[in-house]
Amino acid sequence: MDIGKPSRSYRMHQAQELLKHKFHQNVVKSLASKLGIPHLRSGNATIRDNRGWRIDESIEYCWLIGISKSFVGWCWLYSIKFNQNSFRKKSNPDELIQGIFTVDKEGKIGEFYQKHRPQDYVDKIRRLTSYDLFDANRGLTLDGIGYEYFVFAPNAEIKISLNNPNSENWKVWENEVWRVGRELSLNSGIQVSKELFA
């Protein structure tokens, strides 16, 4: 069956998706560099040097959320959990770091703030397990909020794009995202994040 030449609108959509994918890759790469780790991806994320030799602790998981709001701006939240381990002369405790940052149009980090969480801190976004994958938004909402949600775990690498989610389970997720975002933005001094989470 000959499907013919792709339409102009299809080619434009494809080009936009490729640009978005490259942008997201640049954001992930920029965050990894800022955190001093070689990469964020699924699988065993052991920190290695440029020769590939293991030099430090391993990563249990990371989530990364890009938030954009019409007529306000955008920023990113992240949470990364390092496992407790001892290697050579280093002994690392369990550590959870959360942060907020801005990026330029190329995906490079601009303003950046991070917070080391105490041992008893519960990462509720990590704990949430119920998602309506086919019914994130039933109806029309007009607040213009979009999310790019990335999860990096030992056996999974997940990307979900959401616009104005309003199903019950996604509202639980969104409320927690905004709680963490408000807290981090207040301490960050990043103006656009304060406006976004106001």
Beta carbons within 8 Å of 18's beta carbon, 6+ residues apart = none
Q: What is the pTM of this model?
A: 0.84
Mean pLDDT score of the chain:
85
**pLDDT bracket for residue 1 (50, 70, 90):** very low
Residues in the chain: 198
Do residues 164 and 119 touch, judged by C-beta distance below 8 A?
Answer: no
Number of Cβ within 10 Å of residue 42's Cβ equals 14
Question: HSE of 173 in the Cβ direction (CA atoms, 13 Å)?
Answer: 23
Confidence band for 44, pLDDT divided at 50, 70 and 90: low
Calculate the dihedral angle through the C-alpha atoms of 44, 50, 52, 58, rounding to the nearest 10 degrees: -30
Determine the pLDDT at residue 166: 85
Residue 159 has pLDDT above 90, yes or no: yes
More confident position, 136 or 96: 96
Cβ burial of 17 (10 Å; 0-12, 13-18, 19+) is exposed
Could you tell me the two tokens for 52?
């590939």
